[in-house]
A and B are shown apart, each in its own frame.
Chain A
Amino acid sequence: ESVLTQSPGTLSLSPGERATLSCRASQSVSSSYLSWYQQIPGQAPRLLIYGASTRATGIPDRFSGRASGTDFTLTISRLEPEDFAVYYCQCYGSALYTFGQGTKVEIK
């Protein structure tokens, strides 16, 4: 079972800035099985990215994902006020599903 470690724990940025979130897997994870989610406080999570780099339906193109070996990155090119939230990566492997511990993107 792969463990996903997200960094940083908290990212303090201003609207309009670029956010780069990292997710590192402890074992090899196929990029096909890596997803990213956004959770706004008080709401259910929302799928942003699947297959490491494919945006889910309705997700704006300021969100992008990239994979490099066991390192995965979610980038928000220009933060909008509604983007301040907690982001989770998630993978599938060995018949199990795993979430990272989350990165909080907060307003600086």
Chain B
Amino acid sequence: EVQLVQSGAELKKPGESLTISCTGSGYRFTNDWIAWVRQMPGKGLEWMGIIDPADSGTRYSPSFQGQVTISADGSLGTAYLHWATLRASDVGIYYCARLVSAQSGFDLWGQGTLVIVSS
């Protein structure tokens, strides 16, 4: 089965670091891009950035540049989203999504990872 499986929910304190993951299966992971999308509670979808797992080339939304780091290990078929210093405003559900091409849309989504940041 072609799928993206994300790591589980996280409860962290402000100032802590965090890395969540997204593992692809059923297809060649390095053939396609992986994007990260944030959904804050009760709000819409926000594109954060995207990575090419073949060479780890990344692009970030200006809104998220410098706030998070996207990485990938093609050999493990896994992409990562990392925060060095969490803030309360980072609370939300984070989705990874596959992009075959800019024209194809995000055709495969992970189940989402809930991140709660609270003291």
- A28-54 interface with B by 8 A CB criterion: 32-33, 35, 37, 39, 44-47, 49-51
A42 nearest CB neighbor, chain B only: B112
Contact B35 A97 (CB under 8 A): yes
Give complex CA distance A46, B35 in Å. 14
Give complex CA distance A51, B97 in Å. 17
- Chain B residue numbers with a CB within 8 Å of A101 are 44
Q: How many A-B residue pairs have CB under 8 A?
A: 63
**B83 interface residue (CB < 8 Å to A):** no
A90's contact among B61, B62, B106, by CB below 8 Å, is which? Answer: B106
Given contacts A35-B106, A44-B109, A90-B105, contact A98 B44 (CB under 8 A): no
B88-106: contact bitstring with A at CB < 8 Å (1 yes, 0 no)?
Answer: 0000000101000011111
Contact B110 A44 (CB under 8 A): yes
Judged by DSSP, the binding face of B is strand
Q: How many residues of A contact B (CB 8 A)?
A: 27
A95's contact among B35, B44, B59, B104, by CB below 8 Å, is which? Answer: B59
**A56 interface residue (CB < 8 Å to B):** yes
A99's contact among B47, B50, B111, by CB below 8 Å, is which? Answer: B47
**B46 interface residue (CB < 8 Å to A):** yes
Contact B106 A47 (CB under 8 A): yes
